[in-house]
Structure 1
Amino acid sequence: MTTTPASPASEQDGDSTIAARPDRATRAAGLLPADPALRRATVLTLFNSLGNGLYFPLGVLYFTRIVGLDATAVGLGLTVAGLVGVAAGVPAGRAADRWGARQVGALLWAGTGVATAAYVLVQSYAGFLVAVVCATGLQMASRGVQGAIYADVLPAATRVEARAYLRTVTNVAMGVGGAFGAFALQLDTRGAYVTVILVNALSFVAPALMVRRLPLAPHASERVAADAPVVDRWRAVRDLPYLAVTALNAVLVAQYTLSEVGLPLWIVERTEAPRWTAALLMIVNCVLVALLQVRVARRASQVPGAVRAMGRAGLLLAAACAVYAVSAGLSPVWAVLALTVGAVVQVFSEVLMAAGGWTLGYELADSRAHGVYQGVFGAGMSAGMMAGPALVTVTAIRHGGAGWAVLAVLFAAAGLAVRPAVRWARRDGDWRGEAA
């Protein structure tokens, strides 16, 4: 079996004149991947993210405007599908441990592609439910498996930086895809919607064909060659310290929906800022994440750095909530300025949280059962993102400044609680079978 060298002196399938540092996953100031496995994962991510970005602006509108379903009923169906996806994360991870993360990931992505393509056949609410539950459930279940794939194919020393680079690629590709999706949205014809849906379906099928060709990293190859037994593959669901860290991470992950759902509603309903401010803040977020994520990840690639990152992320997110609250009642110009400052502060929280979460999700897990551990961690993230819209709505949107204060306390407490939770996990490391 082909493996990726742990410390290449130079790149093996690229420009051999460019040296690749063994402690770096990227080169050219974090703009290009240095590791061959990361390059292949980048292509896979690029395909999938372009399709997702293309579909994102018009997915719900297809079912309401073209198929003719009720918007509330569509929202309910998406919620049900999300719950199925959260529940499917752990069994999918268990399957990855048993049959291999790459193989299971390929099946999940291929299934998602087929189910997504079935959207074009939907003519009733029952058909919509079947299609959306299958597509969303499989896609969400694949998140934890994707984490296990990265655990197997990316060198452990640079894995977090590599995840950061892939997140940057995801943001940029989704932005480009979203721009093209806007053209289809403007056309507003069945043909345009169907074309976007089928392209998105292919964006899952193509990675499904590619993922099995990703080479195992040396540490994973050695584990496979040794045929090391995995004791109690369901261990992660009873690993209380790991579950505690997962839950705290899920609270901080809710900030994603703060940007996507909470701020647009806050801007329209509670501030004098023009409506286009929501788009401005999204652009600010995408650009700064692309610039900062890899650099921040390098500082949080070990457990102590990750703990500090999570604590700072919680405090920064609390500060962002305070700034957002101040924007109410200001003149349009000052409201835009305050919201922009808050968005910048939140970006720093976001990149710190993402990097710290990746590190803790891997380092506190039993490496012999990464599938189910990453399934648990991914399910926690999915749950946080699902709960986020309701959390923001019942606090900040409904109660204004007092609601933002509640969110600020919640986020700060979650970030600071990571340190004792990690200490608990590291004391419990022997039970997990490895020193965290």
Structure 2
Amino acid sequence: MAPVYRVTDRVAVCRVSLALALDRPRFDRLAAGVAFHDTSDARRRKMRTLLLGCALMLTMAERAVTADQLLVEAESFANKGGWVVDPQFMDIMGSPFLLAHGLGQPVANATTGVSIPRDGQYRVWVRTRNWVPGNWEAPGRFRVLVNGRALKPEFGTENGWDWQDGGTVDLKAGAATLALQDLTGFDGRCDAIFLTTDGTRPPNDLDRMRAWRNRLRGLPDTPDRTETFDLVVVGGGIAGCGAALAADQQGLKVALIHDRPVLGGNASGEVRVHTIGITARADALLKKINTRHWPNGSPDALLDDQKRHASMEAAQNVTLLLKWRAYDVRMQGKRIAAVYAQHIETGETRAFEAPLFVDSTGDGWIGFWAGAEFRYGREAESEFREGWDKHGDLWSPRKPDNRVMGTSLLWY
């Protein structure tokens, strides 16, 4: 005889159905109306409807748990072709991404292999953005190829970083290939590709998405590896390289964290802004890391990249961490105890502890995360008495505002 379950309200119905999830035969008999405390027909029909509704919810929950899901970070592609990893907006959009910078000529495909867990129909989501929205065709369009066949949509056509629906594709368990096919050569952007058998749209909120990504990739929410130094320098531009070399000369154990594959920042071969200014007593040091004024596009500018790397490798006390991006700090009272950094391709995270830190990020991220006061925009001319009648508000406004400097692009 089936046991009698006393069900008195909707909440209890759901609780009973959850409790019986591990005892499916009893659940089936109960849902069929075999054993109710109140055996009236109306009551039985009502309880059956509620229980079957809960059974449906349980089935959906089970499907969510058992759905096959595959997250592929674009920066982890095995063969990046003509695409390059761009980490500079990790703080804004949550991840590095692949960029197709071809000066108007489509770059070579980025490709990688993946392992499909089971046969099934997978919905494909691609995180991307249209980087120049407006009443014109998106400049950074690209396609995604699965096993050599292009998905129907063109990607990079929607505003803001978000997951674009690529439709469904039938896949067999085992090895498969993914490829990014650039269509324009004008800076298409791909952050990640997500395949799922239940069609669930991935989260796009940064905090939720970081936890979701870590879970799917098996990464900890906070670094589980810590390294200790006398000085941690974040940012490998001219300022960061100079600080690291100066500290090395003082015998300090230094970590230099830089999010690009080459040193120099804007003075590197990736941007090629030459360095000028008064060097004074730092002349000998700066000659090891500066960039001369090469003609725009000159391949000789890469010689200064080689010089910087050779200088850093010769520094016995400097640990050079290229392709690592700082993303947070750990505070101890009002002092920074550690900087958290993430490898821009593997996603690995580490904590770097030190009594002293140098913020050479270019945007003051370390100080910002630490809660330091900061200023955004232009101060009033009266604050530091720096007005210039010749240029008026263009030089320093009478009232403070939120205007900031623009940027220039050197195309090469």
Fold shared by both chains (TM-score > 0.5): no
- Give the number of the structure with larger relative contact order, counting CA–CA contacts within 8 Å between residues 6 or more apart: 1
Higher gyration radius (CA): 2
TM-score normalised by structure 2 residue count: 0.23
Structure with more helix by fraction: 1
